Amino acid sequence: MFNKLSLKDFDLKGKRVLLRVDYNVPLNSNLQITNTKRIRASLPTLKYLIEHEAKIIIISHLGRPDGKEKPEFSLKPVAEKLGLMLKRPVLLTADVGGTDTYKYVRTMREGDIIMVENLRFDPGEEANDFDFANRLACLGDIFCNDAFGTMHRSHASITRLPEILPACVGLLVEKELSVLGAAIESPKRPYVVILGGAKVKDKISLISRLIDVADVLLIGGAMSYTFLSAAGFSVGRSIIEKDKLELAKLLLDKAKRQDVKMVLPTDHVATGEFSFSAPSAVVQSKNFPNILMGMDIGPSTIKTFKHYISKASTIFWNGPLGVVEFDRFSKGTEEILKAVANSKAFTIVGGGDTAKCVEQAKLQSKINFVSTGGGATLALMEGVGLPGLKAIKERI
Ligand code: AMP
């Protein structure tokens, strides 16, 4: 499906490779990195560039400094951590593609690594400014985008740089494209999709697209209440999106027409108020009390979902099935996660919240592929073109 130019298509020896990564890592109040996942994800590409004797100039954003130099958003902790991981110096420039950066880049040798300070210190990055991109482009001979989680953004380092320099994707993006591309184009069947999370609004086109490719859609989380309501059930005080009821009906009809099973929860863990301590009870979809709201899928639904999971050959999951922020409403998500981890299917988890649940349960090694994207993963699965991807040429 995707056959973009990759690092393997370029002779890298002695070339300055401007590498866009996603080092938007979480920091605590002491500016220490609390999760190094994004740095680790970039290591295969960095090692490849080192082995092929490129000169490596890393660019990334971190947080939202709003176009101003704010020390709390400096990439300094990232440069230090990366240096430790690679066991070689990673020099952080004092400016964003200004005189300090040029000074370092001019004297680089093969295998050297320089990290340019936070791109978002310059307003040109988020403004998708061509002049800013031109300044950055002077730093490299080749542009490589390995920032999958940022490819849905129209920012200068994502969409403008590939207009100026010969451009390709890195190994991380290549892997994302091959796994997610296959999950849309040629999944092994039965293909079971699990969808949860809060908003139908954000996932309508994803659901519509998945009805075209999946065999079974298991729907949980807050979004299931909009579907249940559209199917004629009362859902008490559960969150529903009234303006999306018609669309939810259309999606249910579409699934029926295409003989795709759209499985909605038959029972729920419900409570009278949105809090971690309020008493809860298991209630049935057929008989949902007016005064309660659904916070998690119930035991029968868990059993049904597990049944479909046990039959699957491919599983794609996005979105928690309950209010996982409160321990007592995270059971549905945890149980289904265990079932997915133990299934023989090829398993893919996409999206920030779900990936976080996998990490918390320490089940990463039992999931075949955890996508590094949130919005970018969903946009790719939906078939919405990613601006950062469009900008890179296909292999001929
Ligand atoms: P999303 O960003 O769309 O993946 O939504 C994730 C959020 O959905 C999490 O913060 C969950 O707490 C929330 N969520 C899941 N199930 C429910 C529910 N039954 N009621 C309210 N919020 C929910």
Query: pLDDT tens digit string along 294-309?
Result: 999 999 999 999 999 9
Residue 351 has pLDDT above 80, yes or no: no
> What atom in ligand 1 is closest to the CA of residue 353?
4
Name the catalytic one among 67, 83, 111, 375.
375
Query: pLDDT tens digit string along 215-240?
Result: 999 999 999 999 999 999 999 999 99
170 part of the active site: no
CA distance 74 to 332: 39
**Long-range pairs, 162-166, Cβ under 8 A, ≥24:** 162/388, 162/391, 162/392, 163/133, 163/391, 164/133, 164/134, 164/137, 165/18, 165/137, 165/140, 165/141, 166/10, 166/141, 166/142
CA distance 28 to 13: 38
CA distance 209 to 59: 34
CA distance 326 to 313: 31
In which band, very low, low, confident or very high, does the pLDDT at 113 lie, cut at 50, 70 and 90? very high
Ordered by where they begin, the domains of the chain are 7-172 (3.40.50.1260), 179-382 (3.40.50.1260)
What is the Cα 5 distance to its own chain's centre?
22
Phi-psi region of 84 (alpha: psi -120 to 50; beta: other; left: phi over 0): alpha
Name the catalytic one among 76, 175, 199, 254.
199
Token look-up 């029972």 returns 267
CA of 208 to the centre of ligand 1 (A): 20
pTM of the shown model: 0.93
> What atom in ligand 1 is closest to the CA of residue 294?
19
189 part of the active site: no
Please give the pLDDT value at position 295: 98
CA of 194 to the centre of ligand 1 (A): 14
CA distance 54 to 361: 38
CB-based contact 298:270 (threshold 8 Å): no
Cis peptide before 190 (omega within 30 of 0): yes
375 part of the active site: yes
CA distance 146 to 134: 19
Give me the phi and psi of 200, to 5 degrees please: -65, -40
Give me the phi and psi of 350, to 5 degrees please: -120, 140
Residue of 321, 324, 336 to test ligand 1 pocket, by largest number of atoms within 8 Å of CB: 324
Query: pLDDT tens digit string along 261-319?
Result: 999 999 999 999 999 888 999 999 999 999 999 999 999 999 999 999 999 999 999 99
Residue of 195, 219, 239, 323 to test ligand 1 pocket, by largest number of atoms within 8 Å of CB: 323
